[in-house]
Amino acid sequence: MFHGITKRWMLNTLSVILMIVILIVVTLIFVVTYLFQSSVEQNLASTGNELSIVFSGFTSPGSTEFASASRDYVENFDEKEHVGVMVLNSTGKVVLTSTGFVPSEDEKFTDFEDASASDDGYAFWSGRLLSGEPAMSETRVIKNPDGVVVGAIRYIVSMEPVNNRILLSSGIIIAIGLIILGLVIISGLLFIRSIVRPIRRLSEAAGQIAQGDFSASEKIEHKYDDEIGDLCDAISDMAKDLQTTEQMKNDFISRVSHELRTPLTAIKGWAETMQLSERGTLDRRTFDKGMGVIIKESSRLTSIVEELLDFGRIQSGRMVLMKEKIDILAEFDEAVYMLKERAVSDGVHLLYDEPEVVYPPIYGDRNRLKQVFLNILDNALKYTPKGGVVAAQVIYSKDEPDVIKIIVTDSGCGISAEDLPRVKEKFYKANQSVRGSGIGLAVADEIMNLHNGSLDIESGEGVGTTVTLTFPVYKEGEENSLPDMVKL
């Protein structure tokens, strides 16, 4: 019936509370019993205090005078209806009672002997009579001037009414304890329920999300703004992020499949054309065109595969850099040169003037950096319409002597403010109408991070994009402080 958090609460918290309530109840019952019994003792003691006045003139050691004085005291006693009075002789035998009945000799009272031995001259007794009735008595001895006991007065009351009050009070205390315990159990179970139910729903929703049903996050609700509410919000946000990532991954797979299919289709088509043509009938111009397409699309296919492999290395932490001291101007100039013909064929003006001054070297992997340059320039050309301009420049100033910056600016379509913060995320592709897998920038950004540099993008929709690559300048001894091969 109870398990999990409820069971632990029952075994731990509730058991401690139960012990505390029982301890309090038992203590209160003992206190109430003590107070009631002390009250009876005090009443008996105050009643017996008047003996010093009643027998103050008693000086004769004779038993006749004591018997006469005692008889007068019993006859004139005002509390006969509630308190019984017995007159005892010097040996402790009852000789006179307020009820007129002398108790049986089998009744055993110890208060006379205790009072005779006491310096105060009185003692209490509590127990049950032969009839089974609970009773309490106080005996006060009367002594003559020589200190000889000539008799005693015993006051006796029934404890039945007091015990009934004790039982009633104990019952009330136990009932209050049970009520408190019940309220604690009810409030505790309600509190546990307010925790267990949402957690159970969260567990079910998490299981559905793990199976790919991201709509389960819509069923997650919370009533309170507490830790459970924060957990509900976190799981809902996680499900939304997973759904977005899943959609991006599916789009990525679709784009990659399309990117791979296009060059493969071109290669296959031209290969079949050249194969089916009769030997010697294919003119040189067509042959050269077909081979050019095959070579171009093969290079494109190789580039896509390399990009996917790099992405896989980054995901698995196996990206390796072969670092050395390099001339960044020479590497960037080579990348620009590789894309000049592409820019001409696309009708885009690619502007770049290599600085005539000598810039300090940087420490990095020349192949990986060239990959970054080509990716940035390729993106600029892709998103710039015919007749547009792509301008590149390398900047090193005395104001910032520790870094070298490469800035590539295009007059293309630009990136919206909504897409700009996410363009470097894996799988994310802002413009679906332009070819590309959507992982090139993610790979380039990771390569820049491995070089302790940065890749920053500024853009406005319809006004173009500016990409800034920042590299730290090589410092003497850097190759000794860092390994030539850096693994992600």
pLDDT digits (tens, 9 = 90+) for 367-410: 889 889 988 998 899 889 999 999 999 998 888 889 999 999 99
Percent of the chain with pLDDT over 90: 18
pLDDT (tens digit, 9 = 90+) per residue, 255-289? 667 667 777 887 888 787 777 665 556 677 777 78
Among 70-74, 129-133, 434-438, top mean pLDDT goes to 129-133
Percent of the chain with pLDDT over 70: 83
Mean of all residue pLDDT scores within the chain: 80
The pLDDT assigned to 487 comes to 44
pTM of the model: 0.50
Asked whether 405 and 468 are in contact (CB, 8 A), the reply is yes
- At 347, the pLDDT band (50, 70, 90 cuts) reads very high
Q: Using the structure block, give the residue that is written with the tokens 């850099």.
A: 321
Average pLDDT over every residue of 456-481:
84
Pick the more confident residue, 57 or 78.
78
The pLDDT assigned to 175 comes to 93
Asked whether 347 and 338 are in contact (CB, 8 A), the reply is no
Residues 6+ apart with CB under 8 A from 241: none
Residues 6+ apart with CB under 8 A from 149: 90, 116, 141, 142, 143
126 pLDDT above the threshold of 50: yes
Q: In the 8-state DSSP scheme, what is residue 473?
A: B
Among 33-47, 60-74, 140-154, 222-236, top mean pLDDT goes to 33-47
pLDDT (tens digit, 9 = 90+) per residue, 198-207? 777 777 777 7
Residue 363's DSSP bridge partners are: 325
Pick the more confident residue, 352 or 476.
352
Opening angle at CA 277, ends 274 and 281, nearest 5:
110
User: 477 — phi, psi (to 5°)?
Assistant: 85, 0
Integer Cα distance of 95 and 376 in angstroms: 125
Pick the more confident residue, 254 or 425.
425
Distances (CA, A) of 257 to 20, 252, 264, 289, 305: 70, 8, 10, 25, 11
**Which tokens in the block code for residue 77?**
């006693």
Asked whether 178 and 4 are in contact (CB, 8 A), the reply is no
